């Protein structure tokens, strides 16, 4: 397993539309393993293959929710190969989103609170499931990556520009400290 570099805005590869996976083979499983290691090291709760420079329709999610309020996070890694949203609820809910490709920046995005999705797992087995809550939101966020969409694209131009200015300021401050 390896920690892979995560692409950050404005890298044009993040706008690339990812291709379907033809066969879930050992190469795909190795990429999935590396993606989990990368996501955990970041740390994050979701990662699309394009975020590590691989334009394939693969994403990994682990909400790592604590078992108890002050308990250790419980890992529940989920793999989605060639995911599709079949239906979604009419009700949108606001959720504060962040992204490993737009580090340390957060904004509220409205998304459907329930979806029905279909995908393959790391063994190539097909799944179809009704998904709600945080998992539904994270799955939609990561699936956007597969289509070249970032969470900031769901914001007004004013809010998007504000997030990008904050990111630029953060990068300038980090560069000053490194010099």
What distance in Å separates the CA atoms of residue 80 and residue 83, rounded to the nearest whole number?
Answer: 6
**Centroid of chain to Cα 91:** 22
What distance in Å separates the CA atoms of residue 59 and residue 28, rounded to the nearest whole number?
Answer: 11
Cis link prior to 142 (omega < 30° from 0)? Answer: no
In this structure, what token pair is assigned to residue 40? Answer: 């955990």
- Catalytic residue from among 68, 128, 142, 173: 142
Query: Is 142 one of the catalytic residues?
Result: yes
Q: List the alpha helices (DSSP H) in 3-86.
A: 26-41
Catalytic residues: 142
């Amino acid at each position: 397993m390896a920690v892979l570099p995560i692409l950050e805005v404005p890298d044009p590869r993040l706008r690339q539309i990812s291709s379907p996976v033809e066969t879930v083979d050992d190469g795909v499983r190795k990429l999935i393993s590396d993606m989990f290691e990368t996501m955990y090291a970041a740390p994050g709760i979701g990662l699309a293959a394009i975020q590590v420079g691989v334009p394939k329709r693969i994403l990994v999610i682990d909400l790592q929710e604590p078992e108890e309020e002050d308990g250790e996070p419980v890992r529940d890694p989920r793999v989605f190969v060639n995911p599709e949203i079949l239906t979604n609820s009419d009700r949108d809910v606001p959720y504060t989103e962040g992204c490993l490709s737009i580090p340390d920046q957060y904004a509220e995005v409205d998304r459907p609170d329930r979806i029905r999705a279909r995908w393959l797992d790391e063994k190539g087995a097909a799944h179809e499931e009704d998904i709600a809550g945080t998992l539904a939101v994270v799955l939609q966020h990561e699936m956007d990556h597969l289509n070249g969409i970032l969470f900031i694209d769901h914001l007004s131009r004013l809010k998007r520009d504000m997030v990008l200015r904050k990111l630029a300021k953060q990068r300038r401050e980090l560069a000053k400290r490194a010099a």
